[in-house]
C-alpha cells in the first residue's frame, strides 16, 4: 500500500550514483526532501521526468529542498544516466526494491515487463523536515508524469 500525506516516511539508506551512502534522516537536517521514484534509467519517460526536475532545480533549492531520484538500476547505470543528462541531484540505487516497496512504489511481482520482477513505479513524495509525508503521488501508469506543480506547492506550503 502506498504511503499517503501525513504518514511517517520510512528511512532511506541507499547508495547514490557516486557509490556514496545517502540517508533520508541526514538529508532532512537540511530541509525537506523530494523523493522521485522512476522505473528505469535511459527510458524516454524517465529521461523527460528527471530532466523536467533538473531544469527547474533552482526552484526546488530556493524552497530549501533536497531532491533525489530512486530506481532499481545499479549505481553505475545511474552515474552514466546522470552524466549524460547533466542532472544536478543524486540518483539512488534501490537494487533490491526494498525502499520502493516501503513507499508503496514498487510493482507487484505479477508485473514483469521484459522479465523484470522488481521495478519502481513512477512516484513523487515530499518529506517534511519532521519526517512526515507532505505530498504523495504513486502512478500505476509508467507513461504518466508526477504533478510537479503540486510537488512545488507542497514545498511552498511547508516553507510557509
* Strand residues in the chain grouped as ranges (E): 13-16, 21-23, 33-37, 66-71, 91-93, 122-127, 133-139
| Rounded Cα distance, 46 and 130, in Å | 29
Catalytic site residue 1? no
Cα–Cα distance, 160 to 112 (Å, whole number):
42
Where do we find the cell 522488481? Answer: 118
Of 9, 46, 119, 123, the active-site residue reads 46
Cα torsion 73, 76, 82, 85: sign: negative
Residues with a known catalytic role? 46
Amino acid at each position: 500500500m502506498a504511503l499517503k500525506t501525513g504518514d511517517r516516511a520510512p528511512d532511506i539508506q541507499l547508495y547514490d550514483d557516486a557509490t556514496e551512502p545517502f540517508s533520508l534522516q541526514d538529508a532532512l537536517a537540511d530541509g525537506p526532501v523530494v523523493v522521485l521514484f522512476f522505473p528505469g534509467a535511459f527510458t524516454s519517460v524517465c529521461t523527460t521526468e528527471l530532466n523536467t526536475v533538473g531544469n527547474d532545480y533552482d526552484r526546488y533549492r530556493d524552497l530549501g529542498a533536497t531532491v533525489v531520484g530512486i530506481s532499481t538500476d545499479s549505481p553505475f547505470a545511474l552515474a552514466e544516466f546522470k552524466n549524460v543528462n547533466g542532472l544536478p541531484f543524486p540518483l539512488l540505487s534501490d537494487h533490491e526494491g526494498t525502499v520502493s516497496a516501503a513507499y508503496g512504489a514498487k510493482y507487484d511481482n505479477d508485473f514483469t515487463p521484459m522479465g523484470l520482477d522488481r521495478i519502481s513505479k513512477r512516484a513523487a513524495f515530499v518529506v517534511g523536515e519532521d519526517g512526515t509525508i507532505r505530498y504523495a503521488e504513486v502512478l500505476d501508469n509508467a507513461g504518466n508524469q508526477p504533478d510537479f506543480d503540486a510537488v512545488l506547492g507542497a514545498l511552498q506550503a511547508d516553507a510557509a
